[in-house]
A = this chain, B = another copy of it.
């Protein structure tokens, strides 16, 4: 069940039937997801590896490369959750799908409601696992509120905007490591970096101001001249 909008959940739907694809898109967008469509296996694989998605929904029977092959390629590198769909209801396919690492398998026909329920279940599980694996937070450190897109220190929240949150979260995950502008643009702002784009600088500026505003002393956003930005821990 989707309660609040996360930093925006992105779903890649790989489905060659235009009618079904369109319905998937409409329904999932109505449920608050950012949906990208692809109509064949090769393009799907390219998108899945080049951009960042929270979940991939894929037909098995596809032109180009079939869903199981794409899944296999994906699993060799990525851990992104994958839901397979297929009209081939046979146990064979189902088992093949799961053994390749699929997270769920929907035999056609299925209802769009059913689809939503499964997707939400998987996203919930993934979020839970991530939280479990996350390094423990010390009490006097920043607290990240994934749902609310905000961070807080000892109860006072910084009032970050979603973009600011995504930037800070990236920096936080790569503590003490310089991240390039192109990388930050791609991962946090979801677009390419152009030479005179000053958006990221604005976000950095705001993040600095807001972190100072709540009196955070644990780390500082430092600029690595000509390279990018880095969140540096302070002693």
Contact = CB atoms under 8 A, between A and B. Distances in A.
Contact of A148 (B23, B31, B178, B182): B178
Interface residues of A, number: 57
A3 interface: yes
One complex includes copies of this chain to the number of 2
A5 B193 CA distance: 13
Given A30-B185, A103-B111, A113-B98, A177 B4 contact: yes
A149 B178 CA distance: 12
A163 to B, nearest CB: 11
Nearest to A128: B117
Contacts of A178: 3-4, 147-148
Interface of A is mostly: mixed
A30 to B, nearest CB: 2
Interface in A179-235: 179-183, 185-186, 191-194, 224, 226-228
A24 B210 CA distance: 37
A91 interface: yes
A134 interface: no
Interface string A24-49: 00110111100000000000000000
